[in-house]
A and B are shown apart, each in its own frame.
Chain A
Amino acid sequence: MKWLWMCAVVWLMPASALAQEAQATPPSRLWIVAGVASGTLRGHCQDCAQDFPFRHGPAILGNAGYRVSPRMDVGADVFWMQWHNESGHIRATAIDAVAQFRPWGSKGFFVKGGAGMAFVRNWVQTIGPHPDDSKALAVVFGGGWEFNTKSRLGLQLFAMQHVGALGDLQTTSGPVADVTGNFWSLGAAIVIR
């Protein structure tokens, strides 16, 4: 539960503390986000009867792009997550084209969505010494709160869901059909504008 407390503390941290660090400089057109998250992944297939487990691990999230307007940013989203145990590991990277929208310019609430491609190494029950790599159609959506939106340096807390649709997964024991994976992440990131 330690990470939970940390999230709560960060969330409750006064925005004014950050505002003191970075003076209100006119933001540039650049939009960069780099952060870490606590992630949960779950893979499943359409016709599988079994109940697949949720797996937890660290994740990294990054955005780079362009500020279209004071409320809208567009760019690329990179999400990376890894989970491992003694028998092997699952690694997923999603690269998406995303748009982030802050409905209220004066407030930090934002929603984000996009689509792209995911690259997945290993999956649910197929973890073993011979990794299987797959490409997938990816979508991402989520939201969060950004502190200090008016200056060049800010902080955001986010909750995102990345989805990867693999189609068939080739494994050593044969193909598994209609495999989809969901990745939930909750984290914090630095925002540079």
Chain B
Amino acid sequence: MSEAAAKPRTPNESGVPDHLQYMHPVLKRNLGKWDWHDRPRVGVLHHVSKTGDEIWTVRAGTQRQMDVYTIRKLCDIGDEYAEGHVRFTTRSNIEYMVSKEEMVEPLIKALEEAGFPVGGTGASVSMISHTQGWLHCDIPGTDASGVVKSMMDMLHHEFTHEEMPNRLRITTSCCQINCGGQGDIAINVQYTKPPKINHDLVANVCERPAVVARCPVAAIRPAMVNGKPSLEVDEKKCVCCGACYPPCPPMQINGEESTKIAIWVGGKHSNARSKPTFHKLAVANLPNNPPHWPEVAEVVKKIVYAYKENARHWERMGEWIERIGWNRFFELTGLAFTKHHLDTWTGARKTMNMSAHIHF
């Protein structure tokens, strides 16, 4: 063992790094001085400062989970066709800032030739924000990167064109914790069966009181099973949320057939026009079907194009549905409205129609 390993280095608790050291010089000298922007074409933002400075930004999609060769390729493009300064969006798109308009077209060409689609701006479908899935998560019900790759292949045209009524933001999450977050369309794992408990392991692996406390419907209680201290689940009460699984892996919530996909619609982060909203259930029980998840893709496609064809400019998914009513949403998408669409959680009555307003 080397001396360095024997005497560990004390960390420099430097915290959040200084962004200014990496920032494009035009951005740096125009901090807080920007005046307006426009989009000369899809994938390109053009910002003009009160000082007269201008900056062009070219946005391209990435696979988020990147090998060093991909990152170096993006850097090569940044050095040869841009000015060595990049940033990432919250949806893992890369942005190149350039100070000269004539750099934009060659940069776009270089990105597209290297296989990075240029787009994701304005009224487009941007990259899907997603989670870790089978690649790295300890509790995943499905993969994330694979679902995203399949969906973005299908929606490639909508990333590289601004033809939507407004921006359309899709998220995926590989368990019901929903790390992918709210979305106009959210593709989330939905468990359908109570956990299967390996009673031989519970006592050694799980802190039982913590697991009991974790259950949102108080369906878990301590029990002796085969002479061993374990836990049992009241399956009539269980809502199959999977909250017990992370603190107690022997309570396996995933099953080859029982882990399903649900699609939710109408979540919105922005305060523009309407207040932020949570996404709502559109359809559940779709099969978790790698590597292309075709049943999920079909539903996503229906929803995306129903929105594209029917919403008004600037209406987000949820605002469009609010206007046309859920009746028509289910009609236009060909999806079923079931008793499972009626919320049953605490405060659920506030989600019911407390008026005589009805859509025909």
Q: Do A and B come from one complex?
A: no
